[in-house]
Amino acid sequence: MSRTLITGGTLVSTTGAVATDVLVEGESVVALLAPGTGAELAVDERIDATGCYVLPGGVDVHTHMQMPFGGTEASDTFETGTRAAAFGGTTTIVDFAVQRTGEVVEASLEAWHEKAAGNCAVDYGFHMILGGVDEDSLKAMDSLVAHEGISSFKLFMAYPGVFYSDDGQILRAMQRATDNGAMIMMHAENGTAIDVLVQQALARGDTDPVFHGLTRPAALEAEATNRAIALAEVAGGTPLYVVHVSASQALERIATARTTGANVFAETCPQYLYLTLEDHLGAGGPGSFEGAKYACSTPLRSKHEPHAKDLWRGLRTDDLAVVSTDHCPFCFNDQKQLGRGDFSRIPNGLGLVEHRMDLVHQGVVDGNLSLQRWVETCSTTPARLFGMYPRKGTIAPGSDADVVIYDPAGTTTISAQTHHMNLDHSAFEGARLTGSVRTVLSRGRTIVDRGQYLGSTGHGRFVPRGLSQYLR
Ligand code: DUC
Ligand code: ZN
Ligand code: ZN
């Protein structure tokens, strides 16, 4: 079995940053050593990490590779999307397998396995979207938890006629999850009220991309978040994870629930920390279609309100436990054009899987987050929340040797010209960030080094997951 010693770096974990050497044997970490003490060890390779952070590979628990949505399909395949993830220091993704109304859950899961198997550059797991909650899908939840390594289910309070579940269906799925231990992930927006606002806007002739955001007000995210929390309580304390939180008011509901000790958790995404309704969704002003690049749901929020500041605070206080990406890319030149003249037809989603680690590290540089919290929100907690710890999310003897060597003095410039996602634009075009991914190991194998891809399609394996390890 090949042995690699990573020397000279600073190991960053949830508890701090300590000069440590890391010994890898085969696919696993086997020892943490005081700096320099492995000089006599027989190893096949020494990686000099002097001046760099050494951190557990990123875990992005919210991606949609090649998902059919909005009349088209997300433009990254498992192959292109996981390779891009690797370049950005993410070594595990958890993607959403999709069951639509009328489909058999197990068959939908199998179809997702077929898309991913043999195509991934990094390891991957699945959550299951339940687009149809009925007797069969409720039963399937038990079997997926017990036998398939799927321990989380996403429901939608938005998108009536597509993925939407009503409150009765949500309650029933939550009751099932209370019994089998699964996590319910919630897209919390009041979809039926939003649909009314959308129809009214279109009838007025308000068709620009900015109306995508204006018809999805923060109050309707907060209302749905509150309702999800109440339903989880009524269902007996179901573990609840609110996805893509964008609004201060929604965060406030989550924080309140957490003060009662409820097992309520939440994530946000980089777009909500940096991009705004006015400057991005409203880019170019009236008549411009540029903002379509930034149409995602939940939407970007107003820069005149304290959403981004509150979200950074939520990350510091753990009311937001995770930063994921909701990676769901659609190309501007064809796919996003579906919504020209009608914002409601713009395929919803941004492509960000490659840049999450860098964008959140920039928060460390800017003083919004500690170094430890960067690792915690981007790697360790997502692994724990979704039943993959300590195999993922930590550098410790026995864990998978998923390791990122990160140069805090490097620079990353984001551009569609240089990124690796299958996407013809970037939501962060031209952004210059402090810090850069230097080397990435996935299960002991170097898959990225100084901008060179050394991995291979099919290296990534399915990760069966257990129940959440982050419950209170
Ligand atoms: N939101 C998005 O922006 N894209 C995919 C699905 C979702 O909920
Ligand atoms: Zn969603
Ligand atoms: Zn999503």
pLDDT of res. 208: 98
pLDDT of residue 328: 98
pLDDT recorded at residue 400: 99
- With a 6 Å cutoff on the Cβ, whether 296 touches ligand 1 is yes
Give the other-Cβ count within 10 Å of 466's Cβ.
Answer: 14
Residue 385 is classified by DSSP as: H
Residue 33, φ and ψ in degrees, nearest 5: -120, 150
* Sequential pLDDT tens for the chain (472 residues): 999 999 999 999 999 999 999 999 999 999 999 999 999 999 999 999 999 999 999 999 999 999 999 999 999 999 999 999 999 999 999 999 999 999 999 999 999 999 999 999 999 999 999 999 999 999 999 999 999 999 999 999 999 999 999 999 999 999 999 999 999 999 999 999 999 999 999 999 999 999 999 999 999 999 999 999 999 999 999 999 999 999 999 999 999 999 999 999 999 999 999 999 999 999 999 999 999 999 999 999 999 999 999 999 999 999 999 999 999 999 999 999 999 999 999 999 999 999 999 999 999 999 999 999 999 999 999 999 999 999 999 999 999 999 999 999 999 999 999 999 999 999 999 999 999 999 999 999 999 999 999 999 999 999 999 999 999 9
Distance 157 CA to ligand 1 centre (A): 12
Q: Which ligand minimizes its atom distance to the CA of 67? A: 1
| Bond before 7 cis per omega within 30 degrees | no
Q: Determine contact, residues 229/257, Cβ cutoff 8 Å.
A: yes
Residue whose CB lies within 8 A of the most ligand 1 atoms, among 61, 64, 346, for a mutation test = 64
Structure tokens given for 82: 């996981």
Protein residue closest via CA to atom 7 of ligand 1: 297
Tell me the backbone φ, ψ of residue 436, rounded to 5 degrees: -155, 145
Ligand at shortest distance from the CA of 62:
3
Q: How far is the CA of 326 from the centre of ligand 1 (A)?
A: 7
Ligand 1 pocket: which of 66, 155, 297 to mutate (most atoms within 8 A of CB): 297
Q: Which of 114, 89, 82, 113 is nearest to 456 (CA)?
A: 82
| Residue with token string 């099932």 | 176
Candidate from 61, 67, 69 with most ligand 1 atoms within 8 A of CB, to mutate: 69
User: Residue 418: phi, psi to the nearest 5?
Assistant: -120, -15
Say if ligand 1 is within 6 A of residue 213 CB. no
Ligand 1 within 6 A of 348 CB? yes
- Report the distance separating Cα 24 and Cα 43, nearest Å: 9
326 lines ligand 1 (CB under 6 A): yes
CA 297 to ligand 1 center in whole angstroms:
5
Residue 336 near ligand 1, beta carbon < 6 Å = no
Structural contact between residues 461 and 425, judged by C-beta atoms closer than 8 angstroms? no
Residue-level pLDDT at 67: 98
Predicted local confidence at residue 312, as pLDDT: 99
The pLDDT of residue 297 is: 98
